[in-house]
Amino acid sequence: MSDLLLDNEQARKLIKTLGLPLPVPERLRRAKGPYEERPLEGKVVLVGGHAALRDTLAASLAKMGAESIVFGDEDDAKPFRRAGEAWGRPVRVVAPGEAPEGVKVDAMVYDATGVRGPDDLKGLYEFFMPYMRRLNKGGRCVVIGRPAALAGTHSEAAAAAGLEGFTRSLGKEVGEGGSTGNSVFVEKGAEARLDATLRFLLSPRSAFVTCQPFHISNDAKGSDAPTTQPLEGKVVLLTGAARGIGESTARIMAGEGAHVVCLDLPRDDEPLSKVARSIGGSVLLADITDPDAPELICKELNERFSGVDIVVHNAGITRDKLLANMKPQLWDMAVDVNLGAVIRITEKLVANGVLNDGGRVICLSSVSGIAGNRGQTNYSASKAGIVGFVESLAPQLAARGVTVNAIAPGFIETRLTSAMPVGIREGARRLSALGQGGHPEDVGQAITFLSTPGAVGITGSVLRVCGGALVGA
């Protein structure tokens, strides 16, 4: 990233003189290379809370290579000791209220599935507070609960909802150190699907994902998921693949074993072909708004690959104008590219049987679609429409094991944002809990995660990759 504040020492001095914040840390710790069997090798994880997920957490953390510190007593520690012995991982125990001198942690995971009312929320304070200043830079905080909508009492529902408010605020407090805070809500019976989400949230792959709730359900059918090369043998259709987020996503997904069919406009043949060649993918030239595009795409995928496993609708445009000054063609272009084409292509892939069972559909929305934005009525309408589309389609495809989700990026450092006036650009960066913009690879990592077999429990959801921006819900 070329960043005025990061690359220009005089600008840095001026910003400090004016009393404006610099990003801290200036560069987030991001993943390098493909998925690992033990992403937490050598990392210290503090874990505590209720007993419901104790065995699940113990097994997952041990397999990921973590050194667990159990917040509780010896009874609480038993599953962790068993898992630690099986995987050769050390386990320590600290009593509530204790924070031994010199102990630092890389992550904190709290099982709040047992909260029954407001009084139980005090457990969050007792667990996190002593270790807030002991969380290493780039640390991870995760709170696991049950969905409020499925609670048995009003009090239980209120407490469950309180978990999300806590973690959103926690994420904003730890953001200065490049750390994140997220919540995960697991339906009863879906506990086995927690592992993949924890692997994502506790690793550098989620560097720009913070203050977000994740919902894990039993809606879609699924099988055991590999922890490395999770996309091996999968065919991916990726629109808008020639540059930016599309290019980054193509490289990450190919690195996890996928064959990526890179789609973009005919005029982008040269950069698109360059991307496809570099990852061993294929090229598909098409204008997605062309009335014949859905049939063309179906034919190509059927004849060349016998179908498609993952569809990523990344192509999008902005045609910004205040509504009072907006020409009808600007409205039509934004809505058709960002929403209309997505619906037509997806519906054709489903109707023609081109989307394989166990497939994944991921659509790019935007925080502007959640919060709205001045001068973007057309863009915001189309990106909000994406949210409605995935929420409507997801239950229809669940019986086939297909998940449908949206990604809503915040301020991402691309060639488009680099053209913004400096003041607007710097302001947008500072609106995030992490004090900076994201990278295209941050969105690519989130797309890749939702594409994996392990993410089968997440469907009909919108994942914001925004660094905990102070925009929208």
> Which pair of structure tokens corresponds to residue 31?
């993943």
Q: Is residue 224 classed exposed, middle or buried when 0-12, 13-18 and 19+ CB atoms within 10 A define those classes?
A: exposed
Amino acid (one-letter) located at 67: E
Q: Among 89-98, 298-307, 337-346, 402-411, whose mean pLDDT is lowest?
A: 89-98
Which residues of the chain are in CATH 3.40.50.720 domains? 37-216, 235-465
Order of strands across the sheet with 308-313?
282-285, 259-264, 235-239, 308-313, 355-364, 403-409, 462-465
Q: Are 457 and 184 in contact (CB under 8 A)?
A: no
pLDDT, tens digit, for every residue of 132-146? Answer: 999 999 999 999 999
Instruction: Give the residues across from 310 on adjacent strands.
Output: 236, 360
Segment 235-241 mean pLDDT: 98
Tell whether the model's pLDDT for residue 451 goes beyond 90.
yes
Q: Residue 149 carries which DSSP code? A: G
- Write the DSSP symbol of residue 314: -
pLDDT category of residue 8 using cuts at 50, 70 and 90: low
Token code pair at residue 324:
């009072």
Domain 37-216, CATH: 3.40.50.720
Confidence of residue 372 (pLDDT cuts 50, 70, 90): confident
- The dihedral through the CA atoms of 322, 327, 329, 332 has a sign that is positive
Question: What local confidence, expressed as pLDDT, does residue 112 receive?
Answer: 97
pLDDT class of 25 with cuts at 50, 70, 90:
very low
Q: How far apart are CA 370 and CA 25, in angstroms?
A: 28
Which CATH superfamily, name and number, covers 235-465?
Answer: NAD(P)-binding Rossmann-like Domain (3.40.50.720)
Active-site position among 35, 110, 131, 379: 379
- CB–CB of 138/205 below 8 Å? no
Residue 223: CB atoms within 10 A of its CB come to 8
The confidence band for 427, taking pLDDT boundaries of 50, 70 and 90, is confident
Q: Where are the beta strands (DSSP E) in 72-112?
A: 91-94, 105-111
pLDDT at 3: 52
Over residues 179-214, the pLDDT tens digits come to 999 999 999 999 999 999 999 999 999 999 999 999
- Residue 379 annotated as catalytic: yes
Determine which helix (DSSP H) or strand (DSSP E) holds 81, and give its type and residue range: helix 74-87
Q: Has this prediction a pTM greater than 0.75?
A: yes
For residue 250, give both structure tokens. Answer: 């193509």
φ, ψ for residue 406 (rounded to 5)? -120, 150
Q: Which residue has the higher pLDDT, 280 or 21?
A: 280
Q: What is the mean pLDDT of residues 113-118?
A: 95
**pLDDT value, residue 223:** 75
Q: Report the pLDDT averaged over residues 350-368.
A: 97
The pLDDT of residue 24 is 43
Q: Would you state the structure tokens that stand for residue 192, as one six-digit string? A: 């086995």
pLDDT band at 458 (very low <50, low <70, confident <90, very high): very high
